[in-house]
Structure 1
Amino acid sequence: MTKIVLWMLVGCLTVAVYASEQIPAEHDLSADQIVEKNVAARGGLDAWRKVQTMVWVGHVDSANTPARDLPFFLALKRPNKTRFEITVLNQKAVRVFDGREGWKLSPSGMGSGSLRPYTMDEQKSAHDEQVIDGLLIDHQAKGVDVTLDGTDKVDGHDAYRLGAKLPSGATRHVWVDAQTFLDVKYDRQVRGARGQPVMVEVTYSDYRNVDGLQIPFTIESGVAASGNRDKLTIDKVTLNPPLDDAMFTRPASQGRHNSVAVNADVSPPALRAMTRPTP
């Protein structure tokens, strides 16, 4: 009997090993097939199309901020409206994009804020972002062309590297895990402080189920050539809360923000994370 059990165990292990060896066969998938699996893994196209607004509440850790665990509030509304608030030393910094123009309100030590329009690069980047569901979901309707550029290792796991060409002509890369088919990495080129091109990388982890959708609750961002990373941790995600368009218009002044109409359990503060999202 012992030998029979032993051989059964060996047989099961052999099947398991054989099955694991078949995973690389997935590398023969086309870009369209990878995107299809990614959309299914994240909850399905129909489910994402039903999401018209989204709110994140959480905290940020960064080497560039004066304190840890800074609370933030991010509101997103289709087609491309965003409001981001982060509380720094009891004052709020605000970034707002209404789908056409953007503004940023920075606190000062005197309590008054400095309101400035987005720079040309910030404006262009905001126009390019797909704030609710990212580049891959419904990419054809968004005019995003997706190609398979190869495979890489991301945190020790095989991942497909997809190239995404946006309607503006800008290009991005999205890495999709070869087993889970969830987004694990994203990059985009920005202009550095001296005007030089700089590649920013964003990684996604700690995916959780939110009303049937898979959403990453940890997002880290930083310049590819640097070891420093900003970390955004989401504490709560709310889908389809009522968001008034007024909250995405130009901020009035520090200490007198536009009213924010959201569900009572998602009280501001506090937008935009290190790029996205998004997932």
Structure 2
Amino acid sequence: MTRIALWVLVGCLTAAVYASEQIPAHDLSADQIVEKNIAARGGLDAWRKIQTMVWVGHVDSANTPEEELPFALALKRPNKTRFEITVLNRRAVRMFDGKQGWKVSPSATGSGEVRPYTMDELRSAHDEQVIDGLLIDHQAKGVDVTLDGVDKVDGHDAYRLGVKLPSGVIRHVWVDAQSFLDVKNDREARGPHGPVTVVVKYSDYKEVEGLQIPFTIESGAAASGKSDKLTIEKVSLNPPLADGMFTRPGSPGRRNSVSINAELPPPTLPALSRPSP
């Protein structure tokens, strides 16, 4: 065999091996993909032990007056959330107690009106599966999962799973065919001119006490081509979070008016503080 022929053969074999490593196993079922996803993320037992979680980091967005806006996100089972973000040294807060939600936006005077979630916001909040997402324990949550196909996500093959929520809403979750970690999902949201598809991408996974958690999350309307980037700097697992953090702020005597700096439940936990540089 000539040197050129040998080189061609080696090249073909190398390409074949590389291709076999990149092509996903198409004979996997949806349940098998979910099982591999759960294992890749740290395992079912480990996730079931997580009752509360706190993320601290910053947000970069073209729609805000500042870069690297500090945020803190507190999560508590079964479906409680509290999101705080600081804009121009003023704190905006959104909270959901599992049934009702409220939001407070900062104003020039340092106070803001407590407003309830809209019906669309409530429906979206009820559909979220905080802490462990849609795939873990999906049958117990009443979530149906089907395998819809394989797509390219940032140049890598990913399984596209169709996810039907108890509300009847259908979303999609993309699971990387090699790492079996979540890399993308989508959901429908109401925009100023009608429904829009919001795409969320996950990357920069890091291990936190045995769990794989994405430290970079980008989201935006699919048609716009623009996205907001959320960078996580610190994750705390199972910190003590009082239920009062997720309930409506203010007192009965003040109607819906509230001082953001004085009356909102303060983020007193060390886990809610930004880490030192």
TM-score by length of 1: 0.88
| Superposition deviation, residue 142 in structure 1 | 0.6
Provide the residue aligned with 2:222 in structure 1. Answer: 224
Provide the residue aligned with 1:102 in structure 2. Answer: 101
Written as runs of structure 1 = structure 2, the 5 A alignment for 1:66-81 is 66-81=65-80
Written as runs of structure 1 = structure 2, the 5 A alignment for 1:102-181 is 102-181=101-180
Provide the residue aligned with 1:273 in structure 2. Answer: none
Provide the residue aligned with 1:272 in structure 2. Answer: none
Provide the C-alpha distance between the structure 2 equivalents of 1:60 and 1:27, rounded to a whole number of angstroms.
37
Q: Check if 1:257 corresponds to 2:264.
A: yes
Deviates more, 1:252-261 or 1:109-118: 252-261
| Superposition deviation, residue 43 in structure 1 | 0.4
Written as runs of structure 1 = structure 2, the 5 A alignment for 1:180-195 is 180-194=179-193
Residue-by-residue CA offset, 1:29-66 (whole Å, 9 max, x unaligned): 11001001000000010100000000000000001111
Q: Check if 1:245 corresponds to 2:246.
A: no
| Superposition deviation, residue 258 in structure 1 | 1.5
Provide the C-alpha distance between the structure 1 equivalents of 2:174 and 2:18, rounded to a whole number of angstroms.
24
| Superposition deviation, residue 110 in structure 1 | 1.8
| Superposition deviation, residue 268 in structure 1 | 7.1
* Percent of matched pairs sharing the same residue: 72
Gaps of 5+ in 2: 1-5, 251-257
Supply the AA of the counterpart residue of 1:105: V
Asked if the contact 1:98/1:248 (under 8 Å) is kept, the reply is: yes
| Superposition deviation, residue 15 in structure 1 | 7.6
| Superposition deviation, residue 14 in structure 1 | 4.9
SS of the equivalent of 2:239 reads coil
Supply the AA of the counterpart residue of 2:273: S
Asked if the contact 2:24/2:157 (under 8 Å) is kept, the reply is: no
| Superposition deviation, residue 138 in structure 1 | 0.8
Deviates more, 1:101-110 or 1:13-22: 13-22
Provide the residue aligned with 1:275 in structure 2. Answer: none
Provide the residue aligned with 2:273 in structure 1. Answer: 267
After superposing on structure 2, the runs of 4+ consecutive aligned residues of structure 1 that deviate more than 3 Å are: 13-17
Asked if the contact 2:239/2:271 (under 8 Å) is kept, the reply is: no
Supply the AA of the counterpart residue of 1:267: S
Equivalent pairs, count: 260
Provide the residue aligned with 1:274 in structure 2. Answer: none
Provide the C-alpha distance between the structure 2 equivalents of 1:22 and 1:221, rounded to a whole number of angstroms.
30
| Superposition deviation, residue 24 in structure 1 | 2.5
TM-score by length of 2: 0.88
Supply the AA of the counterpart residue of 1:239: L
SS of the equivalent of 1:27 reads coil
| Superposition deviation, residue 244 in structure 1 | 0.5
SS of the equivalent of 1:251 reads coil
Provide the C-alpha distance between the structure 1 equivalents of 2:215 and 2:60, rounded to a whole number of angstroms.
14
Q: 2:212 aligns with which of 208, 211, 214?
A: 214
Supply the AA of the counterpart residue of 1:143: G
Supply the AA of the counterpart residue of 1:173: H
Provide the residue aligned with 1:83 in structure 2. Answer: 82
Deviates more, 1:23-32 or 1:111-120: 23-32
| Superposition deviation, residue 251 in structure 1 | 1.9
Provide the residue aligned with 1:31 in structure 2. Answer: 30
Provide the residue aligned with 2:44 in structure 1. Answer: 45
Provide the C-alpha distance between the structure 2 equivalents of 1:243 and 1:179, rounded to a whole number of angstroms.
36
Deviates more, 1:19-28 or 1:197-206: 19-28
RMSD: 2.1
SS of the equivalent of 1:21 reads helix
Asked if the contact 1:204/1:216 (under 8 Å) is kept, the reply is: yes
